[in-house]
Amino acid sequence: MEITGKIIAVLPERGGVSKTGNEWKMQEYVLETHEQYPRKICFNVFGSDKIAQFNIQVGEEMTVSFDINAREYNGRWYNDIRAWKVERGVPAAPAAQYEPAAPQVNAPKVTAPDFSAQGEDDGLPF
């Protein structure tokens, strides 16, 4: 999945040691979309190598490719939105994507009847 917007927050890097003894690092970011009603999404980058490679900064415009996964902990479910690719700048989209084309209808042209002729006998009692 992909989302495009502006980075509005870079949260502190977190880290720890896994059950197997391996160190891990993760950093979270908040992206705001440019829709009529902007949405915010908090996503993470896992691994110190990816954090350094992406080097995401507040104020950057980017498209983020991510995977969504849910996990259970103590009877509650949590969503994990993990970025696997970022592209700086907003890609130019064709205008047709944002402006729907007018529908093409192949219906015959219908003309309205002319009711202006008064005094004609049409056989109706009113």
> Is 25 within a domain?
yes
> Is 55 within a domain?
yes
> Is 37 within a domain?
yes
How far is residue 24's CA from residue 26's CA, in Å, rounded to a whole number? 7
Q: Which two tokens stand for residue 88?
A: 């700086």
Phi, psi of 39, deg, nearest 5: -115, 155
Query: Does residue 32 or residue 92 have the better pLDDT?
Result: 32
What domain range includes position 69? 2-90
> Is 24 within a domain?
yes
Number of domains the chain contains: 1
Percent of all residues in the chain with a pLDDT value above 90, rounded to a whole number: 68
pLDDT digits (tens, 9 = 90+) for 55-79: 999 999 999 999 999 999 999 999 9
How far is residue 41's CA from residue 51's CA, in Å, rounded to a whole number? 18
> Is 125 within a domain?
no
Domain with 60 in it: what CATH number?
2.40.50.140
Residue 117 vs residues 47, 83, 114, 123, 126: alpha-carbon distances, Å: 83, 72, 7, 15, 15
